[in-house]
Structure 1
């Protein structure tokens, strides 16, 4: 056999082996698909689901854009007709918006699309349901990425149907807690170092307490001090009392405790000034004071008044909370304020406090004023999404900050779980004598 014939034979055999190996791999993935999807849903999506979805999006993109009215004719209609009559030429294909690379997420995909002249992001927002139907995905969300470009994000399944607590990998970051799942499938993380103060609102059985349980459960193992203010006699926050450094159960105690917290921040300010640093994070670990997370449940109980004496107490409490919100982020004091109802009718102190709480979480609420107070000043679209939450969607919430808004759902941490966690980590509760004395 000559060298040329041998080379030709090898060139013929090589593609055959490639096809056989590829066929075996594809068959194996298809056979193992159901088991892989159950045990490793993210791996299944990246190996099988996402490639199929890319083909689906590319194949349907042009007819989908045309059907949604997002395609633009290349030539005026009269010119097209005359060209057909005169030359028998087929009509030119309409221009469609160009999309970029389709990128996978843990449970979906996203892509950027450049708008054609005359188009606005709202045109693509209206086409979102049609995209979801055409691609057979759970939902599509369109947001403005930059001028002239929109971001289309699709979720294949509903990640909020049954959020699962992610596995902890390595030590938790200080003041950072994964409390649930975002609609994109990513973890919902509350990072107090990045967004130091939060407002959480929600009607009874909407999921507000579950979110607080998840937050406390994540903070309990960390070297932080937890302080509770629950003016409903401590019915909610007393679950965590073994892990709390102080707990106020009525307004009189709350006023004293808040005043002590203000004094604590002023003392820390003196330490930072003496060390010539701008915040406690500039201090060495041996000098740095313990971070304090203040959880205020049912904020309305602090501001409702029925007498002159109660009015003075409410004013003192509101002033102290506003000062903590203004000074606390740099000095290691963080606020998590929760309530069933938060409105301007509670007084100007509530509105001033709201302006200092950069993170907002709105569950289903009983009145539109509370949703407006929580989200209205940040994003009108977030407000509409929160008002659409139904009573059957317990735990569902809309969270918003200066970065934007998203739908999310907190992990289910029951009251029994909260009590067990508080008892397990009770030995980590820092002793702050000035706060204990004030709360008595």
Structure 2
């Protein structure tokens, strides 16, 4: 009798780290650049997971995966940390564009409101938020733009720069009125664009003489706009502020109104208004934070790797942040150090460029005057119905 044994063979994939097939190594200013050919079955994610191991193996400060194409990835190694010392000058690099610091790639980082109109900047005390505001004041002061401040710390942050600001609100009630005025400005600019049959104020068909001045809105401690000590008496005011701020975030880009919103603690527990607002803020800057929820609010919906990097920011390097801008990819960045005295001097020097708030709002209605039919394509849901 013949016994026939049948053996079932099972094929399974076993993760095995294999030595990379390196291409030509090319020197860069801060290290070197190398292309790597992928083995069969490998993907770019396989290399993204082991970048720290490659940095240790190559004895360099860091390794980044900067690009890929089928069968090949490109890695850039940095020999030392370029953010240890940042000494580049602050530069107004075109209208609504300010070079504010240095990236971990060694290239300058600029906040460009034309490319990314709205920014969210979070960070704990002494993390570098105020310094970044100083940098923006210095960079925007000589430009033909209007600056508007919302300072919920009682005015201590932006009052030194009031000479260059067209309007400054320090209490939530004042903020509500100022936001109403901004909605009115949007309404008047809508009418201007309709009259010239253009979709935004930057359209070349709009005469230069008719083009309105862009407005940059700086908000400090945004959580104070949403906190309620007494829900019964403050709920209406908070809802009005949240709805107006959200509407400006949604409509502002086309009509030359840009936001930079800052906060120490920004979380979904502040209400659905914050979550809805976050979705409109494409640019993200996350300094060192004290809680994971704030980091998640800034970066969690963009890139998981950025969230991990944000938790590793050292308190010994103030001004360091994880940024996501027009590229949609995250980088470490450190802003140039600008003192309050330097920013105050810049505000005073260019105070003559400050347009009056009366001139900016001339011909503009209030938020209550805005006809809903004029904003039908920009309908915003009721904040009560939004998920937290």
TM-score between the two structures when normalised by the length of structure 2:
0.83
Q: Deviations over 1:168-191 (max 9, x none)?
A: 5xx730001000000000001111
Q: Is the 8 A contact 2:90 2:99 kept in 1?
A: no
Q: Is the 8 A contact 2:109 2:333 kept in 1?
A: yes
CA distance in 2, matches of 1:239, 1:338: 18
Q: CA deviation at 1:150?
A: 2.3
Q: CA deviation at 1:419?
A: 1.0
Q: Which structure's CA Rg is the greater one?
A: 1
Q: 1:105–1:219: structure 2 CA closer, same or farther, 3 Å change rule?
A: farther
CA distance in 2, matches of 1:347, 1:173: 37
* Counterpart in the other structure of 2:237: 313
Q: CA deviation at 1:390?
A: 2.3
Give the SS at the match of 2:208: coil
> Are 1:111 and 2:59 matched, yes or no?
no
* Counterpart in the other structure of 2:127: 206
Q: Is the 8 A contact 2:266 2:294 kept in 1?
A: yes
CA distance in 2, matches of 1:189, 1:109: 24
> Are 1:243 and 2:164 matched, yes or no?
yes
* Counterpart in the other structure of 2:287: 363
Q: CA deviation at 1:104?
A: 4.9
Match of 1:151 among 74, 80, 92: 74
Q: Is the 8 A contact 1:106 1:186 kept in 2?
A: no
* Counterpart in the other structure of 1:14: none
Q: Is the 8 A contact 1:227 1:294 kept in 2?
A: yes
More helix by share: 1
* Counterpart in the other structure of 1:70: 18
* Counterpart in the other structure of 1:280: 201
Q: 1:375–1:146: structure 2 CA closer, same or farther, 3 Å change rule?
A: farther
Q: Is the 8 A contact 1:70 1:123 kept in 2?
A: no
Q: Is the 8 A contact 1:257 1:435 kept in 2?
A: no
Q: 1:190–1:106: structure 2 CA closer, same or farther, 3 Å change rule?
A: farther
* Counterpart in the other structure of 1:92: none
Give the SS at the match of 1:286: helix
Q: Structure 2, unaligned stretches of length 5 or more?
A: 1-15, 367-388
Q: CA deviation at 1:70?
A: 2.4
Q: Is the 8 A contact 2:181 2:361 kept in 1?
A: no
Q: CA deviation at 1:147?
A: 4.7
Q: 1:247–1:260: structure 2 CA closer, same or farther, 3 Å change rule?
A: same
Q: 1:345–1:375: structure 2 CA closer, same or farther, 3 Å change rule?
A: same
Q: CA deviation at 1:235?
A: 1.1
Give the SS at the match of 1:145: strand
Shifted more, 321-330 versus 109-118: the winner is 109-118
Give the SS at the match of 1:119: coil
Shifted more, 225-234 versus 103-112: the winner is 103-112
Match of 2:106 among 185, 206, 212: 185
* Counterpart in the other structure of 2:344: 419
* Counterpart in the other structure of 2:266: 342
* Counterpart in the other structure of 1:34: none
Question: Which structure carries more relative contact order (alpha carbon 8 Å, separation 6+)?
Answer: 2
Q: 1:116–1:188: structure 2 CA closer, same or farther, 3 Å change rule?
A: same
CA distance in 1, matches of 2:213, 2:300: 34
Count residues with an aligned counterpart.
344
Q: CA deviation at 1:216?
A: 1.6
CA distance in 1, matches of 2:225, 2:234: 9
Give the SS at the match of 2:345: helix
* Counterpart in the other structure of 2:6: none
Provide the aligned C-alpha RMSD in A: 2.1
> Are 1:271 and 2:192 matched, yes or no?
yes
Give the SS at the match of 1:280: coil
Q: CA deviation at 1:144?
A: 5.3
Q: 1:321–1:118: structure 2 CA closer, same or farther, 3 Å change rule?
A: same
Match of 1:353 among 271, 277, 280: 277
Q: How does 1:35-114 map to 2 (within 5 A)?
A: 69-71=17-19, 96-99=20-23, 102-114=25-37
Q: CA deviation at 1:272?
A: 0.6
Q: Is the 8 A contact 2:200 2:254 kept in 1?
A: yes
Q: Is the 8 A contact 1:121 1:143 kept in 2?
A: no
* Counterpart in the other structure of 1:218: 139
Q: Is the 8 A contact 1:121 1:144 kept in 2?
A: no
CA distance in 1, matches of 2:73, 2:357: 50
> Are 1:379 and 2:303 matched, yes or no?
yes
CA distance in 1, matches of 2:112, 2:202: 15
Q: Is the 8 A contact 2:267 2:294 kept in 1?
A: yes
CA distance in 2, matches of 1:427, 1:269: 28
Q: 1:311–1:149: structure 2 CA closer, same or farther, 3 Å change rule?
A: farther
Q: CA deviation at 1:116?
A: 1.3
Q: Is the 8 A contact 1:141 1:154 kept in 2?
A: yes
Q: How does 1:157-196 map to 2 (within 5 A)?
A: 157-166=80-89, 172-196=93-117
Q: CA deviation at 1:143?
A: 4.7
